[in-house]
């Protein structure tokens, strides 16, 4: 199962960080919806040319969609992939599912949580509420049922899931890998404890004292590697630093919906470049203006 990672200095580069992700690996992506997604790591994964991934998590958006569009994903096992009512369905994810090139083993939030908890608790399975009567189990031959030894009740049962690698993004962290996150943590804590390898990017690498003052959410001993990547969650948000980039997300969705050359052009422009170039191109800095006033904050969403 999961051993601890005791090195004192875990700093590395994006390239070395994503080298932990082998073709075919089960990868947990931190954050949720369009917040705190590990996008700098995702972009590096695409540059690495990784294939055959099984991605697992709860509710996601551009992280999964970009990986699917770039051909990195074989199996998608999340509770949701999309851009909510604002930008709609996830284009590459949808195309993959509909064409059959992507296997979607849709999961649900509590089910994913329960599978991670089983791994974290060191048990091979856990019972879970709900699921029975829904069609989700038809997508999961690996799920089953269990009879409560005390009440005789039949419950859904799911096996432990220990991701090979978790990719997390945090606003701050130290060289040993202590990370502070703002809430909601979504599944990041569970990923951190259940995964064999945890790779974290941070907007700012800071002194341990600063992480302690903010609160250590993910402790160093579960983190394998840490890399400084300013605006590393962009175009998703990473508060207290920056709001999400609605116009960039719209640009992405348009390119992904068009597919083909348009998507390749997106990759060439934004993914197959270094992160400094990416930040300059996207003007990510402007998203820190959210904190100036409620009016400026709202403006970012119009």
Partner 1 sequence: MSTQSADGAQGWSLDEWFVVALARTVADGEVVFHGFASPCAQVAMHVARRTHAPGSMLVEGATYAVNPEPAFVPPTSNDLALHRDAVYRMRFEEFFDAACRGAVDRMFLSGGQIDAYGNTNVTAIGGMPHPKIKLGGGGGGANISATIGALTVWTTRHGSGRTLVEAVDFLTDLGHRTPAGTRAELGHTGGGPQWLVTELGVLDYTDDGRARLVATFPDVTVADVEKATGFALTVADDVGTVPEPTPAELAAVRAVDPLGVRRLEFGPADLARRFGPAA
Residues 63-102 that bind its own copies (CB under 8 A): none
User: Measured between alpha carbons, how far is 302 from 300 in angstroms, rounded to an integer?
Assistant: 6
Query: Between 25 and 103, whose beta carbon lies closer to partner 1?
Result: 103
Is the Cβ–Cβ distance between 90 and 82 less than 8 Å?
yes
- What angle do the packed helices 62-69 and 39-48 form, to 10 degrees? 10
DSSP per-residue string spanning 181-207: -PSP-TTHHHHHHH-SEEEEEEEEE--
Q: How far is the CB of 79 from partner 1 (least distance, A)?
A: 5
Q: CB under 8 Å, gap of 24 or more: what pairs does 213-216 form?
A: 214/172, 214/180, 215/180, 216/178, 216/179, 216/180
Q: Is 35 in the site for its own copies (CB under 8 A)?
A: no
Binds 276, which of its own copies, partner 1, none (CB < 5 to 8 A, cut-off by type)? none
Per CB under 8 A, 103 contacts partner 1: yes
Question: In this complex, which beta carbon is closest to partner 1, that of residue 185 or of residue 263?
Answer: 185
Q: Does 280 engage in binding with partner 1 (CB under 8 A)?
A: no
Q: Interaction with partner 1 in 149-188: which residues (CB under 8 A)?
A: 153-155, 178, 182-187
Q: Does 213 bind its own copies (CB under 8 A)?
A: no
Q: Residues in contact with partner 1, total (CB under 8 A)?
A: 83
The continuous run of DSSP H or E covering 29 comes out as strand 26-29
Residue 145 touches which of partner 1, its own copies, none (Cβ within 5-8 Å per kind):
its own copies
Of residues 126-155, those binding partner 1 (CB under 8 A): 128-136, 138-139, 153-155
Site residues, its own copies (CB under 8 A): 121-129, 142, 144-146, 148-151, 153, 155, 157, 159, 215
């Amino acid at each position: 199962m999961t051993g601890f990672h005791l090195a004192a200095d875990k700093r590395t580069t994006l390239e070395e960080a994503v080298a932990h992700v082998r073709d075919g690996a089960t990868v947990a992506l931190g954050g949720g919806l369009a917040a705190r997604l590990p996008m700098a790591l995702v972009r590096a994964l695409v540059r690495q040319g990784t294939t055959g991934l099984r991605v697992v998590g709860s509710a996601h958006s551009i992280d999964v969609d970009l990986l699917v569009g770039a051909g990195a994903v074989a199996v998608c096992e999340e509770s949701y992939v999309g851009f909510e009512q604002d930008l709609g369905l996830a284009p590459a994810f949808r195309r993959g599912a509909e064409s059959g090139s992507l296997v979607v083993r849709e999961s649900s939030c509590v089910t994913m949580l329960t599978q991670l908890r089983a791994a974290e608790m060191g048990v091979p399975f856990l019972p879970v509420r709900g699921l029975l009567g829904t069609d989700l189990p038809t997508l999961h031959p690996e799920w089953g049922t269990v009879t409560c030894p005390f009440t005789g009740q039949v419950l859904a049962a799911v096996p432990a899931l220990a991701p090979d690698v978790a990719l997390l993004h945090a606003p701050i962290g130290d060289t040993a890998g202590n990370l502070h996150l703002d809430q909601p943590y979504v599944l990041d804590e569970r990923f951190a404890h259940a995964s064999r390898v945890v790779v974290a990017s941070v907007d700012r690498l800071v002194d341990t004292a600063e992480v302690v003052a903010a609160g250590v959410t993910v402790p160093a001993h579960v983190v394998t590697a840490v890399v400084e990547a300013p605006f590393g969650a962009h175009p998703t948000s990473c508060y207290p630093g920056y709001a999400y980039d609605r116009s960039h997300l719209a640009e992405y969705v348009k390119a992904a919906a068009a597919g083909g050359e348009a998507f390749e052009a997106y990759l060439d422009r934004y993914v197959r470049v270094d992160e400094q170039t990416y930040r300059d191109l996207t003007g990510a800095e402007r998203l820190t203006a959210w904190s100036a006033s409620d009016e400026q904050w709202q403006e970012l969403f119009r």
